[in-house]
Structure 1
Amino acid sequence: MSKLVLEGVAAFDPVTGKRQTNVNLCIADGKIKAIGDVPPSFSDARRMQLPGRTVLPGFTDLHVHVAAANANLGVSASMPNFLVALKTLPVLRGMLNRGFTTVRDAGGADYGMCEAVNSGALWAPRILSSGKALSQTGGHADFRQRNDKLDDACGCLGRQGAIGRVVDGVDAMRLAVREELLKGATQIKVMASGGVASPNDPITNTQYSEEELRAAVQEAEAAGTYVMAHAYTARAVRRAVECGVKCIEHGNLIDEETARLLVERDVACVPTLATLDRLSEKGAGLGFPIESLEKIDGARSVGRKALALMQRMGVRVGFGSDMLGELHPFQSDEFGVRAEVVGNIEAIRSATCVAAEITRETGVRGTVAVGAVADLVVVDGDPVEDISLLLGQGEHIPVVIKGGVVMKEAGRLLEPAGS
């Protein structure tokens, strides 16, 4: 693999909080080999002069739905598979353009998408796929209307645009987890409470029996991975944690006692706040169901307080955007929302070193350190001082490097060789 030197940069490592100025960052074999002076072995390396720029680890978004082609997930679940696949391509490219080198898909991305990225056929963020999220009948991934026949609008037969599948019962849960792992899931997603986007389940509902949740956890752990659970209320979060879930998604209605439980059990949480702001603003015009719009304010009004509480209690809090359909371009808004509550550095940490802890890649990704994978973003200026540099569509991110390969340069996304 070719060698690369980023010359004269400031390197910010969110693990240590230290910023080195006017250093050279040397990359080879997909990893960071040196920071500081250029070793003699890099005399033949390509050099990029980047004075005044700051290098950060590539960002990780822990909660995306790349196959959610429509903000109305029921509509997305019924779209033709090929159309959904085509609509996924600009979503992934947009994420890469904004500096996200890894995304953890919380329901929808399949093996084919991941393989297209891993094989180099598509330059996009690395995808950690959950396969189809698992939902009980009438749960958060069951988008059938009350007046419909019980057909496949829920995605039970694997439609590309469906974020989940309906599974009921302990034995069926074990089989579903095994099937999703067989199809390439790197972690398992379950719906453990009601949600905003689904039509028939209030947020206050708990979903799945404890026996079903434990079955999912047992099967995931047997395969060396973990379960992430959609859960909004303190009651739903506690049930999931007590059943062995290792990552909570959303958690807007969490309380202090439950936050303490997360710390005690070493369970992370991935709040998704900016998406509720955008859905409140634009959801009606995008065809978001009225039943869902009515749920938004209840979760949105307390989300920032929940983030502040978890930060104060010491919960590991990762970055998640959860944008859907036409809202995908607002992914980086989450940086701004978090910075308002916990400050710029913690907002950056949530998408870098904390995210790497959650994906079990501490020291491998999410850090600017010798030996780490060279997933990097170059920013015009210092985002520690000005978080707005990370917002928008990557206008202030001229360079994105994934696995040592330059995928964006001079503000423009590049294409795979031979494409």
Structure 2
Amino acid sequence: MRVSMIVTCNLCLALRPLLPLMLLLIIVLPDRTFTMSSSFQVERIEEQKSKDNNVVVLTRDATSAMTEEQQECVNDEQYDYLIQARKLIPPPVESIENGDTESADWWMEHSALLQRAWTQWHQQQQQQRSLPPLNVNSILIDHSLHRDVYQTWKEPTLENEERIHRKWEEVLLSTTSKTTMTKTTMPILNYDNDTIKQEQEQEQHEVFRYQNFLTPEGVQVLRDHLDSITYDSGIPTRRPNAMNRHGLLLDPTVPGGVGGNLPIHNFLDILVRDFVRPLGRSFFPTFCGNSEDDIKHYAFTIRYGDDGHDPLSTTETGGDLELKEHSDASIISLNINLNLPDEEYTGSSLYFVQDDGDKKERREFNFESGTALLHRGMTRHGSIPLQSGQRNNLVIWLHGKDGYVRTSSYEKHEQLTVSERWSFI
């Protein structure tokens, strides 16, 4: 009887210790054929003689080998968090007020899985390198503003601050004619109680606008990254805030927020540290008078109108249409229009409210692609209904630890100095 030895393991050297055993089997059982599998198990293959004395080898059913392969796939999937996350069906978003706790238990339950999925997706993105670099530089940020901001970081003086202030337009007129820099440069002895109160009221109503805060290229690059997160990752994301239902929650510390230490997170950290925080302190020194007041930030995107991708949309256009009058949960808010230059829309104008006791003034205006608005979170605002198209925005809120938002003002002697405003304290 012919005896065959089939060795199918790639690690041949590892099989050398088994050769004596195999020789023994050949001697003891000369009428049996054996095969060595890749799992290092010796399997007996029965032989039968046909009528013409030919040897017929009866092997195991091939389905058993397929079962092992399927089991390996199952085991792999247990560690493929991205596959698991994409199979999740998130709860629908419905509330247009107080929606920050909507389905909170579901997002908490799946938080660990989602964070692992974001990390895995980020690793895939790094290998593919399909997205353009996202950096806080003069290519993405207006060159003039970028230059003056970093010059002020090098030389934090009132003159350099004033150079930055002149680039911003005050779009919600205050109740007095004093400018912000007049307040910061006047000697303390010239201040009386009425003047301080008047200036506190002035700061409370100021809204500043910067055209082309983001360059057209900056808007495009930022949208590329955000759209990839939204449409390519396939990972469920939580609603951005209590009132907006459509957009991205970009805070990885909140269950359901975009995680994974993506380039967008590094971009936001630097943008807040180098631009938003010192600008907020500089424009609103009466209210940002302590380094703990704005130590944390919360960032998100919002979308008004239909993008054609959202199967969970609950309005006729697929997205939110308007935003009721409200105040933000922040001490400082920065709002940037992320529409591409060719993405037009009608309606959806923003309005801000100035409340002077018996008189309530509402100012409405549009802001174009790349334009930024800077204001106190307590300044009430909203948006009128969208008529056509789509509007996209990036919003950054500054606040203290654990969501603390200070609303009372600081006395002149308590406020940060210009050097403290432009420092990492």
Q: Normalised by the size of structure 2, how large is the TM-score?
A: 0.24
Structure scoring higher RCO (CA < 8 A, sep ≥ 6) equals 1
Computing the radius of gyration over CA atoms, which structure comes out larger, 1 or 2? 2
Q: Normalised by the size of structure 1, how large is the TM-score?
A: 0.24
